[in-house]
Amino acid sequence: MSEADVSKIFAANLKQIMVSKNIKQTDIVRALGVAKGTVSGWCSGANIPRTDALSSLSNYLGVQLSDLLSKKSPADAVSQTARKEKDIEKILAQAREQLMDAEGLMFDGEPASPEAIESILSAMKIGIAMAKEENKKYIPKKYRKD
């Protein structure tokens, strides 16, 4: 696959993800600290980001690098991300219920306040998201449906 083909695929995926998440080019410029012309070039297919910028962009958009660079539909990536968020929220709802029902729950040496419980849940959300990312199943190239 030529570099021009990769640029076109990247631009199409980027634009579709931006539309689905209601993100504008100026949002990306501010979030990543890159020039407006750079982001415009990404969206038009004139070029693709360097590796470090590509990683930052995928993190900002909440998608995998492969979702930006592969031929598969980025809508699938968005739905997978939404599904992952829904799973995390379900786990957090169960944890919230257990924490609220726990008698004698202490946080920093004092009875846990609702704000303290929310703080615990925020930390759990980050940890769960990181664990899900780390534990994703690896699929060897010969079995992938690219």
Q: How many CB atoms lie within 10 A of CB 55?
A: 12
Between CA 26 and CA 42 the distance in angstroms is: 13
Q: Which amino acid is at 139?
A: I
Give, to the nearest 10 degrees, the angle between helix 114-134 and helix 74-101. 140
Over residues 69-128, the pLDDT tens digits come to 877 654 555 555 677 778 888 988 888 888 888 777 877 777 888 887 887 888 888 777
pTM value is: 0.51
Distances (CA, A) of 47 to 53, 96, 113: 12, 45, 51
Q: What phi and psi values does residue 111 have, to the nearest 5 degrees?
A: -55, 140
Tokens 């991300």 — which residue? 81
Residue 140 confidence (pLDDT): 67
Residue 27 confidence (pLDDT): 93
Q: Which two tokens stand for residue 108?
A: 């920093």
Per-residue burial over 69-98, b if 16 or more Cβ lie within 10 Å, else e, is: bbeeebeebbeebeebeeebeeebeebbee
Q: What phi and psi values does residue 107 have, to the nearest 5 degrees?
A: -135, 120
